[in-house]
Amino acid sequence: MSIDDIVAQGVARAVKELYGIDTDASKIVPQTTRKEFEGNLTVMVFPWVKAARKAPEAVGQEIGQWLVDNEPAVDRFNVVKGFLNIVIEPSFWSSVLSHIAADENYGIRTAGDDAPLVMVEYSSPNTNKPLHLGHVRNNLLGYSLSQILKACGNKVVKTNIVNDRGIHICKSMLAWKKWGDGATPESTGKKGDHLIGDFYVMFDKKYRAEVKALIDSGMTEEEAKEKSPLMAEARAMLRAWEQKDPEVRSLWAMMNSWVYAGFDETYRRLGVDFDKIYYESDTYLEGKEKVLEGLEKGIMYRKEDGSVWADLTDAGLDHKLLLRADGTSVYMTQDIGTAKLRFRDYPIDRMIYVVGNEQNYHFQVLSLLLDRLGFKWGKDLVHFSYGMVELPEGKMKSREGTVVDADDLMDEMVSQAREVSADLGKLDGLTPEEIDRISETVGLGALKYFLLKVDPRKNMMFNPKESIDFNGNTGPFIQYTYARMRSVLRKAEADGITVGDYIAVQPCDREITLIQTLADFPQVVAEAGRTFSPALIANYAYELVKQYNQFYHDCPVLREEDPARRSLRLVLTDVCSRTIRTAMGLLGINVPERM
Mean pLDDT of 225-253: 94
pLDDT of residue 331: 86
* pLDDT band with cut points at 50, 70 and 90 for residue 292: very high
Fold adopted by 406-586: Isoleucyl-tRNA Synthetase; Domain 1 (1.10.730)
Long-range contacts of 165-168 (CB under 8 A, 24+ apart): 165/238, 165/241, 165/252, 165/280, 165/281, 165/284, 166/126, 166/238, 166/280, 166/329, 167/234, 167/235, 167/238, 168/126, 168/128, 168/200
pLDDT of residue 257: 97
Instruction: Return the amino acid letter for 543.
Output: E
Measuring CA to CA, how many Å separate 37 from each of 33, 41, 87, 453, 576?
A: 7, 10, 10, 28, 26
Domains 3-89 and 122-390 share a fold: no
Specify the 3-state DSSP secondary structure of 42.
strand
Mean pLDDT of 223-250: 94
Q: Could you tell me which CATH number the domain at 122-390 has?
A: 3.40.50.620
Q: Distance between CA atoms of 280 and 267, rounded to whole angstroms? A: 19
Identify which of 441, 561, 529, 595 has the alpha carbon closest to the alpha carbon of residue 144: 529
Length of the chain: 595
Q: Is the per-residue pLDDT at 399 higher than 70?
A: no
* pLDDT band with cut points at 50, 70 and 90 for residue 393: low
Kindly report, residue by residue over 104-135, the tens digit of the pLDDT.
Answer: 999 999 999 999 999 999 999 999 999 999 99
Determine how many CB atoms are found less than 10 A away from the CB of residue 4: 19
Specify the 3-state DSSP secondary structure of 512.
helix
Q: Distance between CA atoms of 18 and 473, rounded to whole angstroms? A: 46
* pLDDT band with cut points at 50, 70 and 90 for residue 591: very high
Kindly report, residue by residue over 49-98, the tens digit of the pLDDT.
Answer: 999 999 999 999 999 999 999 999 999 999 999 999 999 998 899 989 99
Q: Could you tell me which CATH number the domain at 3-89 has?
A: 3.30.1360.70
pLDDT of residue 152: 97
**345 within 8 A of 394, measured Cβ to Cβ:** no
pLDDT of residue 205: 95
* pLDDT band with cut points at 50, 70 and 90 for residue 398: very low
Give the pTM. 0.91
Q: Is the per-residue pLDDT at 395 higher than 60?
A: no
Q: Where are the beta strands (DSSP E) in 424-515?
A: 460-461
| Portion of the chain with pLDDT greater than 70, in percent | 98
Q: Which helix (H) or strand (E) holds 248?
A: helix 246-270
| Portion of the chain with pLDDT greater than 90, in percent | 84
pLDDT of residue 242: 86
Worst-scoring range by mean pLDDT, 11-25, 82-96, 386-400, 502-516?
Answer: 386-400
Q: Where are the domains of the chain?
A: 3-89, 122-390, 406-586
pLDDT of residue 490: 96
